[in-house]
Structure 1
Amino acid sequence: MPELPEVETVRQTILPDVKGRRIDAVEILTPEVFLSNEFVVTGCLIQNVRRRGKYLLIDLLDYSDNKVKKPLIMLVHLRMTGRLLLRQQDLEPPKHTHLRFRLIDPERSDDVIWLDFHDTRRFGRVWIRAADDAGQPVGAPSGYDALGPEPFDTAFSAAYLQNRQQQKRNVSLKAFLLDQSVVAGLGNIYVDESLFAAKLTPDRTVGSLSECEFDRITVAVRQVLEQAILCQGTSLRDYVDGWNRKGRFQECLMVYGRAGQPCRDCGTEIRKIKLAGRTTCWCPACQL
């Protein structure tokens, strides 16, 4: 599943090309993927592309009513294998393309690009919702309103994690950081990598951690995510950015997917176990 760095990379790569364009036409090839709530997006102007956790939020301004400009939000969750792809030509869409948005420059109607939603496994979803005064979706998908702080927010701190662990003292550190209500955007790859960077074992219970160890976690999470974003994400199977380019962070992985291989730091064999229902990799010598 694309995690925060991959979703952020998609946001960064599509934003310059879609911002300010108008949705001229929509092709819905797989209706169950597009949950429009009866809102019509044809004619809407794209104002911005944001990210919240693993969600992309595309801010739209509805020009269909000459008297009222209605703000809408297109939420996109890529789930396991979803992709948002830009195309400069109206070519035959590849297999597993479920939605197509024809985008025009309002000043030059012949300047056209396509934004396609592609998903091999069909788990991804696109929602259209009204925006409230704070720019948040009204009637957001399940779980959205419960998302925890962003890893780069000041709210994501050692003190915050210590407070949250009081209700989850017997939960493993791996499960704790995978919980989207604790911190938004982390998944299997970046939890494993962050815990290696913090030198903490994934099966430690959060109730056993000190404030200093929680501080190491926040620092490690930010460092790992920053590096992954600079590398345009991790491409192991399906993930590509908005222009169909692979990321490079898979070349930097220290533990994730490396079970049985030597640790890059100490040479000890990387081990794996199941935690929180997920395959988890760590170095038994470096992580305590």
Structure 2
Amino acid sequence: MPELPDLQVFSKNLMKRTAHRKIVSADVFNVSRLNVDGETVRTKLLETRITDIVRKGKELHFQLENNEVFSVHLMLSGRFHICAPEEVSGIPYKLLSVGFEEDEALVISDFQGMCKVTFNPVPTNTPDALGEAFTLAYLQNAVRRNQRKNIKAFLIDQSIVKGIGNAYADEILWKANISPKSTAGKIPEDRLTALYTAISDVLKDAIANIERISPDIISGEERSFLRVHNSRKTYTDEGDRILIQKIAAKTTYYTERQQLFL
């Protein structure tokens, strides 16, 4: 599943390829994954332009010249494609295609059929993990409200903080030296401060690494640089064995060195 760093890079690269180009066609292939019908999609998209693509949590929001917005949540296996119009028919499991002047199209697909496209999504007050509203005080207060919650479950709960998924929760907890088995309310204040710092550091470093390794990426995942949540590694660079276990209903990578707070 693409997570916050992946999506941040996707948004930048999709802007380069699609922004400010007139939309000349729009076709819906799986209306069940949209909140409007095909005719409404065409009414909203045709003859306008994408003016901005903004990541909000695990979604990309496409802002249009006519003040409409549509969001895309790729879920586990959704993908963006940019191709020639004659290549659109060859892309399997399509949800939506948007054709631009100068003979290119943006296609959204998902072989699992879980990806969601939402026109004019309702805003929420939940802060983004890299947003200004996500402060240390917010994190501390959220922990107080969820004292009994497992810390990994806490980090990936999109109603608490937007954008952190399974892989980066593991990386953040490893960076903060907190076991993913810990109970949120048992983590002392100094370790919560370390956790808050790790969230920003890990996510920003990941964005930089993805841009370095896969500068033109618009789909998939670039995870080769991950320190602990990495199926290619048996040990961390520090020599600690990487353990794999189901925690918070997710396949979790961690080490025994990480401190446990119960």
- Measured against the shorter chain, the TM-score band is 0.7 to 0.9
Identity %: 26
Which residue in the other structure is 1:152 paired with?
130
Residue identity opposite 1:34 in structure 2: L
The separation in 2 between residues aligned to 1:74 and 1:231, in whole angstroms, is: 28
Does 1:255 find its partner at 2:255?
no
Post-superposition CA distance 1:49-82 (Å, at most 9, x none): 11100111101133xxxxxxxx110111101100
1:209 to 168, 187, 194: 187
Query: 1:123 is matched with which residue: 107, 114, 118?
Result: 114
The one-letter amino acid paired with 1:176 is F
What's the CA shift string for 1:210-238, capped at 9, x where partnerless? 222111112111111112112328x9xxx
State how far apart, in whole Å, the 2-side matches of 1:176 and 1:4 are: 16
User: Following the alignment from structure 2 to structure 1, what is the Cα–Cα distance between the partners of residues 5 and 114?
Assistant: 20
Q: Distance in 2 between matches of 1:191 and 1:72?
A: 33
Identify the match of residue 276 of structure 1 among 243, 248, 260: 248
Matched with 2:76 is 80
Gaps of 5+ in 2: none
Partner of 1:95: 92
Alpha-carbon RMSD: 2.3
Q: 2:136, 2:182 → 1: CA distance?
A: 16
Query: What is the CA distance between 1:4 and its match in structure 2?
Result: 0.6
Q: Would you say the 8 A contact 1:90–1:114 is kept in 2?
A: no
Question: 2:30 maps to what in 1?
Answer: 30
- The verdict on how the C-alpha distance between 1:88 and 1:259 changes in structure 2, with shifts beyond 3 A counting, is closer
Counterpart Cα distance in 2 of 1:87 and 1:258: 31
Contact 1:85–1:241 under 8 Å retained in 2: no
The 8 Å contact of residues 2 and 221 in structure 2, kept in 1 or not, is answered as no
Q: What is the distance in 2 between the residues matched to 1:124 and 1:178? A: 18
Distance 1:124 1:285 in 2: 37
TM-score between both structures, scaled by the size of structure 1: 0.80
1:122-144 Cα deviation digits (max 9, x unpaired): 10011222xxxxxxx4xx3xxx6
Of the three residues 189, 196, 203, the one matched with 1:225 is 203
Corresponding residue SS for 1:50 = strand
- In the comparison of the two structures, how many residue pairs are matched? 252
- Residue deviations 1:103-128, cap 9 Å, x none? 12xxxxxx232100111111001122
- Give the distance between the partners of 1:190 and 1:268, measured in 2 at CA: 19
Measure the CA separation in 2 of the matches of 1:193 and 1:99. 33
SS at match of 2:153: helix
1:190 to 168, 181, 184: 168
Partner SS for 1:221:
helix
Compute the displacement of 1:157 (Å).
2.6
- Assess, with a 3 A threshold, how the Cα gap between structure 1 residues 259 and 22 changes in structure 2: closer, same or farther: closer
In structure 1, what is the equivalent of residue 140 of structure 2? 162
Q: Which ranges in structure 1 are unaligned for 5 or more consecutive residues?
A: 63-70, 105-110, 130-136
| Corresponding position of 1:65 | none
User: Given the two structures, how large is their TM-score scaled by the length of structure 2?
Assistant: 0.87
Equivalent in 217, 229, 246 of residue 241 of structure 1: 217
